[in-house]
Structure 1
Amino acid sequence: MTGKDVPRLEEARDGIPPGTRINITFLAGEDLGMRLAAARAVKRLGFVPVPHVSARRLPSRSALEEFLSGLAADGTAENVFVVGGDPARPEGPYEDSLALLRTGLLRRHGVRHIGISGYPEGHPAIAGPVLWSALTDKAAAIAAEGFGGDVITQFGFDVEPVLTWLEAVRARGVHLPVRIGVPGPAGVRRLLGYATRFGVATSASVARKYGFSLTNLMGTTGPDRFLHALAHRYDPARHGRVKVHFYTFGGLRTTAEWVARFRQAGQL
C-alpha cells in the first residue's frame, strides 16, 4: 500500500487474515506524517506493518533517524524493507540499501527483521553481477547483525526465471526465505504498464502462459496459472523456503477478495 491507501485498507480489512504483513511504500510526494500514519493504521487494523526505507530518497542521516524514531515511537519499527529507490542520483548520503544496513541505526531504533529486494529477471538499470553482489552482501550484513530477514522479488509472469534464480540464490549461500512477487488481479493494460516500467519480460509466449493476450488489453487477469505452476514445480530441497508477496495493482480489496476465493477453492 501507499501512504494514501489507509481508507482502502480499511475497506479491505475483513478479507485480509490478521497478522498479514503489509508493505508500505516510500514514494516521492508523500511526507513523513503520511508514512507514519499508514504504518499506525496497518498495526491498528491487526496487520504487521513493513515500512519501506528508500536509501536514495533520504536527504540526510537526520531524515533517516527522524523516520526510524517515529516508527519506534509508534511501535511499528520492528519490520522494515530497505531498497535503493528510483532516483538515479542519491538525494543524500545513501547510495543503496546496503549503506542503510551499515549505519547501525536500524537496530538502535528497534528494527528486528529486514526485507531486501530480489530480481529474478534482472533490473533495467543495474547489471547482473552488481545485483548478485548486492544480494549476497546484504544477506551477509543481515546475518552478521543478527537480524531476521527475507527477500521480496520483483513481480513476473513466468515461473521459469523465478525457479532458475532461486536455485542460483541458494547456490550462492543465501538461505533467507524468499517471497515471490505475484501481481494481484488487475487490468491487462495496467499490468503491462508496470511490467514495462520495471523491466519485466512480457513476450507473447509468456503472456499466453500467464493467461492474457497482448492483442486484447481490455480484460482483467489473475495469477492463477502462475501460482499453480510455481506450486507444481517448487522443490524445497532446491529452492529453499518460499512464500508469495502480492502486488496490489488492481487494488487492496480486489486482491484480498481474489486470494480469499483462491484459498476457499483449496488452491493456496
Structure 2
Amino acid sequence: MSPPLIQPPRDDAHHDVTQGYSIEITAKDVEALTAAAPLIPPRTIVAITFLPSEDAQARLDATRAVRLLGFVPMPHFSARRLTSNDDFEGFLKRLVDESGVRRCFVVAGDPPEPAGPFADTASLIATGAFERAGVRTVGLAGHPEGHPHMTGAQCLQVLEEKCAAITARGMKPVIVTQFGFDAEPFLRWIETLRARGIDAPVRLGVPGPAGIKTLMRFAARCGVGASASVLAKYGISITRLIGTAGPDRMLEALSHGLTPAHGEVQLHFYPFGGLEKTVAWIADYQARP
C-alpha cells in the first residue's frame, strides 16, 4: 500500500500561519482600513468585494485607497452582476490604469440569472481580458465544505479546469476558500486538491473575532458547517450564544496540521466583527510567545 499523501505532523511541528495573510474589505471600510493600516504589514493583499449595494465608483475609490496605503488590491468581479462586456472591461481597465491592479478575484455571484453575458467565472476568464490588461494573478473560490449547487466531485472538476485555463493564459491561479470553523475539513480538502494535481496556492478563509451570534448568522447564510461538535472545537457553545469568539483554536490546529506536502497555504481573514478589531487581533496573536 502506498503511503498517505500527507504525513502526520511531528509533535514539535508548529509555525505562525498568520504570516502573509490577506484580508477582505467592502468599499465602506476604507476609513477603518486607514485607521488599522499601521498594524498591517506593507504589501498585504486586500480584497475588495463586489457588493450589489456599492457602485463601481465606490469600488474603484476603495481600490485606489488600498494601493495608496501601501497594500496590494485584489478587486472582486461578480460575473452575473456584470451587465455587458463593456461594463466588465471598462471597470477592469480603470482598475489597472488608476490603481495598478495586477491581481483580481472572480466569483459567479448570487443572482440566479445573469444581468449580462457572463453566467459564470469561466466565461470571464475565457474573454482574455484579464491577461490583455496585464493581470498576473486570478483568484478563484474554494468550497472545502461543499457548494449549494454542485457535488464535491463537480466542484473539484470545475476548479481544476479553471486553474488550467488561467495557467494556459499565462497567469497564476490562487484559491481563496469560504470561511470555516474547523481545521480538519480544510486539511482534508487541500490533500484532495494536491492528490488531483491542483498545486495552486490556497488561502483558507478564517472569520475574524466577532460576536457569536454574528458568526452564526454568517455561517447560516454561507452554508458553512456549524454543528454543535464543530462549534465546540472552535470554542463556541450553542447553549450559550453570548460573547465573542476568535479563531485561536482553529489556527493552532492548522499550525500543527499543515506540512510541506500541503503546498503553499496562507490565511484570508473575513472581518465579520469589524476590520480594526480583526487586524488588532492578528497583531496580538503574532506577538504571543
Flag whether TM exceeds 0.5 (same fold): yes
SS class of match (1:59): coil
> Equivalents in 2 of 1:127, 1:149: separation in Å?
22
Asked if 1:248 corresponds to 2:275, the answer is no
Deviation at 1:178, TM superposition (A): 0.4
Shift of 1:146: 1.4
Whether the 8 Å contact between 1:142 and 1:149 is mirrored in structure 2 is: yes
The answer on whether the counterparts of 1:58 and 1:91 sit within 8 Å (CA) in structure 2 is yes
Residue correspondence of structure 1 range 104-123 to structure 2 within 5 A? 104-123=128-147
Residue 10 of structure 2 corresponds to none
Question: Please, which moves more after superposition, 186-195 or 211-220?
Answer: 211-220
Partner of 2:156: 132
In the alignment, what sits opposite 1:177? 201
CA contact (8 A) 2:63 2:99 kept: no
Instruction: Indicate yes or no: 2:84 matched with 1:84.
Output: no
- d(CA) in 1 for partners of 2:240, 2:32: 29
After the TM superposition, which segments of 4 or more aligned residues of structure 1 sit over 3 Å from their partners? none
**Deviation at 1:174?**
0.6
Task: Write out per-residue CA displacement over residues 235-257 of structure 1, whole angstroms, 9 at most, x where no aligned residue.
Answer: 222x1111111111111110100
CA drift of 1:149 comes to 2.4
Deviation readout 1:174-194 (Å, 9 max, x if unpaired): 101101111110011001111
- Aligned letter for 1:245? H
Q: 1:30 is matched by which residue type in structure 2?
A: E
Q: Report the number of matched residues.
A: 265
Query: Which residue of 250, 255, 280 maps to 1:257?
Result: 280
Encode CA deviations 1:199-246: one digit per residue, 9 max, x unaligned.
Answer: 111111111100111122221000000000011111222x11111111
Instruction: Report how far residue 72 of structure 1 moved.
Output: 1.6
Counterpart Cα distance in 1 of 2:113 and 2:153: 20
Please, which of 185, 188, 191 is the counterpart of residue 167 of structure 1?
A: 191
Report the TM-score, using the length of structure 1 for normalisation: 0.96
Indicate whether 1:205 and 2:248 are aligned. no
Paired residue secondary structure (1:4): helix
Segments of 5+ residues of structure 2 without an aligned counterpart are 1-24
The equivalent residue for 1:6 is: 30
In the alignment, the residues of structure 1 paired with residue 282 and residue 199 of structure 2 have an alpha-carbon distance, to the nearest angstrom, of: 27
Partner Cα distance (1:80, 1:249) in 2: 22
What residue in structure 1 maps to residue 8 of structure 2?
A: none
Correspondence for 1:60: 84
The 2-side partners of 1:168 and 1:199 are apart by 21
**Cα distance, 1:126 vs structure 2:** 2.8
Paired AA for residue 260 in structure 1: A
Is the contact between residue 201 and residue 263 of structure 2 (CA under 8 Å) also seen in structure 1? Answer: yes
Percent identity, aligned pairs only, is 51
Offset of residue 144 of structure 1? 0.6
1:19 is paired with a residue whose SS is: coil
Secondary structure of 1:5's match?
helix
Distance 2:232 2:131 in 1: 45
- Does the CA-based 8 Å contact 2:131-2:170 persist in structure 1? no
What is the CA distance between 1:47 and its match in structure 2? 0.5
Amino acid at match of 1:103: T
**SS of residue matched to 2:205:** strand
Separation (CA, whole Å) in 2 of partners of 1:134 and 1:55? 16
Q: Using structure 2 for the length normalisation, give the TM-score.
A: 0.89
Higher relative contact order (CA 8 A, sep 6+): 2
Q: Say which SS state the counterpart of residue 130 (structure 1) adopts.
A: helix
Assess if the C-alpha contact under 8 Å between 1:15 and 1:253 holds in 2: no
- C-alpha displacement at 1:136, in angstroms? 0.4
Structure 1 position 224 matched with structure 2 position 248: yes
Q: Distance in 2 between matches of 1:125 and 1:12?
A: 37
**1:123·1:198 contact (CA, 8 Å) conserved in 2?**
no
CA RMSD of aligned residues (A): 1.0
SS at match of 2:66: helix
CA distance in 1, matches of 2:36, 2:99: 23
Q: Please state how far the C-alpha of 1:131 moved relative to its aligned partner.
A: 1.2
